[in-house]
Amino acid sequence: MKPTQLQPSEYASYYGAYIDQVSDEYTLVEELEISVHRLVKFVREIPMDKFDYRYAEGKWTIKDIILHLIDAERIFAYRALRFARNDKTELPGFDENNYVDEANANSRSIQDLLTELLVVRQSTLTLFKSFSEEQLLRVGVASNNPMSVRALGFVIIGHQNHHQRIFEERYL
């Protein structure tokens, strides 16, 4: 399954910007696996003095963003699990700024953060591989918007791609 197969009714319109950043070259599962390695390789080439850099007052550091990606992926994967299991409970949103403020990413090493990112992605990958076609098509409600299981997978990838682009444009 590829991102162009998604229907607009499967996700809130603001997620379209993330989904649009996912290549149609690979399937969802393939891109979940490939994209994390692409990001880790990219981050390992960033000069050490940039990891704590903020391009403007109040902006997140690269370490903050990596931990933000980890937290968001955990939340999106949890939503995917709930929806795939046909749980009809509407799920609340989350305050990403509060998560970053409480995460203490800058007290951690970049290697520790990258290891956690890889572990979380392996868990996400295993979860998405376990879903049947029927489960991938299921839709639940999160943050007052419909969201399919498969759309959540593409959002995980697109969200990561979005932040990698931000690194390139504003941090390096």
pLDDT at 89: 97
pLDDT at 88: 96
pLDDT digits (tens, 9 = 90+) for 30-55: 999 999 999 999 999 999 999 999 99
In the predicted model, residues of the chain with pLDDT beneath 50 are none
pLDDT at 56: 93
What gap in Å lies between CA 157 and CA 65, rounded to an integer? 14
To the question of pTM greater than 0.85 for the whole model, the response is yes
pLDDT at 171: 92
pLDDT at 150: 98
- Residue 97: phi and psi, rounded to 5, are -65, -40
Question: What's the topology of domain 20-171?
Answer: Four Helix Bundle (Hemerythrin (Met), subunit A) (1.20.120)
Alpha carbon dihedral 133, 129, 74, 134, in 10-degree steps, equals 10
